[in-house]
Structure 1
Amino acid sequence: MGLDRAYERLTALAVAALHERDPARLWPMLAGALADLCGGEAVIHKRDDWSERAGTIGAAPDAAAAELKRLGDTDLALLRACYPLAQHYADRTDRRPVTAHRAAGRDWPDSPTARLLSDVWDVDHVMGVPLPEHTTPVTGCLVYRSGTDFTDDHLAMAERAQPLLAAVERQRQLLEEWQRALGPAAEPEERAAECALTPRETTVLLLLTEALTADAIGRRLGISVRTVHKHVENIYRKLGTRDRVGTVLRAQRLGLVPPPGPP
């Protein structure tokens, strides 16, 4: 896939991800697309602190996810240890994508991790695509492929995708926070859809209720202040309001955001 075509796919993926109302679907959506964009065949994705024993872990496509679930504790711990990428990122602040072969050199093909990947998924190479803002060694995606190692173009595309991964992770966290605040019986996605609010506008609305400034909302979401103001204008128009206070009050009456707590 040429870089121009890949960038078009990346833009389309960003639009699709930021319009997805179910936060549980975001990482599987990204993982499958990332494998295709970066010349991979399978992806493991993680979004929290990851150790050899703990941390949320998923895989795409479905066949890779099924194989992951069949791994025993010993093999799973070896996979979670993420040799040699965990040590590579722990030793530096640079979060640019890198391949296991480039990080470990000749030690990679004969490592226990490489042998496990060959046995389980029939792949030879792995590329780390960490979330750029995280300080933990590997929080993000591991992309796998067989045959030759990932090329410079694959690495460039993965680096181009990193800001999208970070933005979608922030979106996921806010949507899950929104769902928890309203409770399992509230059906917040349906209420937001009835008001024609996009998931992105919903997260901006949630942050408005926290009395954050446009600048603070922009930093939280990784977008410009101008984009924040555009989202706020859309929210006012869709809810028929004119200011922040009126918007928050109307959103509370409609069940779009949690009611005010006790003083």
Structure 2
Amino acid sequence: MVRWVAGVEYHGSRYSGWQIQAGRPSVQGAVEAALSSVANQPVATICAGRTDSGVHALGQVVHFDSAAARDPYGWLLGSNSRLPPDVALRWVQPVSGDFSARFSAISRRYRYVIHNDRARSALLAERATWIAHALDADAMHEAAQALVGDHDFSAFRAAECQAKTATRTLESLRVWRSRQFVVIDVRANAFLHHMVRNITGSLLEVGSQRRPAAWIAELLAGRDRSLSGMTAAAQGLYFVGPDYPAEFGLPPPSEPWFPA
């Protein structure tokens, strides 16, 4: 048996999320079907971070074990020829048997993209969240800095979240404007269910000038999800990817190209 690791890119709009769900299309289901076809035997994958319905990924990472005699390019070319157009493997390589796509990750990064323009865009449909009224990206960035560090993020946790603790270490959170886009970029050791989308929904209240910047710190301290902003739409969220210790020799996550 050889342990393999692969980078996966996908447009998540057609899928119920990463994880296999009975009777519903999933990214995991598509990837495992392609890998199993190449291996000519069942292949099961473990991912770095499960994404929700409609969420995209620039650099999801998975590992799988297989006794099939295939080289990296054989896995890559064979799988991509069997995957739908909105899912692709970007790279494949062997890795040591103690590697885990999930547990070996030391941090994870997400990006949320808002198309902030008076008119909606046909080309950006399902690729960014459209908000017509003006947003103050500087105020959003100022407010977001209260979240950086080691905190209990109960105020930004989905009710159905099954994590044993709400404490996470948020390493960085930046908000900036790039022409007609407002971008939220966040890195943490791990994330709670809907954490990034719930943080985004609350920051939108600040950016829309409905709440002061200090409100985000108050929400964090209060730990009450019912007082926070809405859960932002899924289509604006991208899983940029995880980081791993250098000893595993994996490609670093690609810098997002969207938006410029």
Please, what TM-score do these two structures have when normalized by structure 1? 0.29
Higher strand share: 2
Higher helix share: 1
The structure that has the greater radius of gyration is 1
Please, what TM-score do these two structures have when normalized by structure 2? 0.30
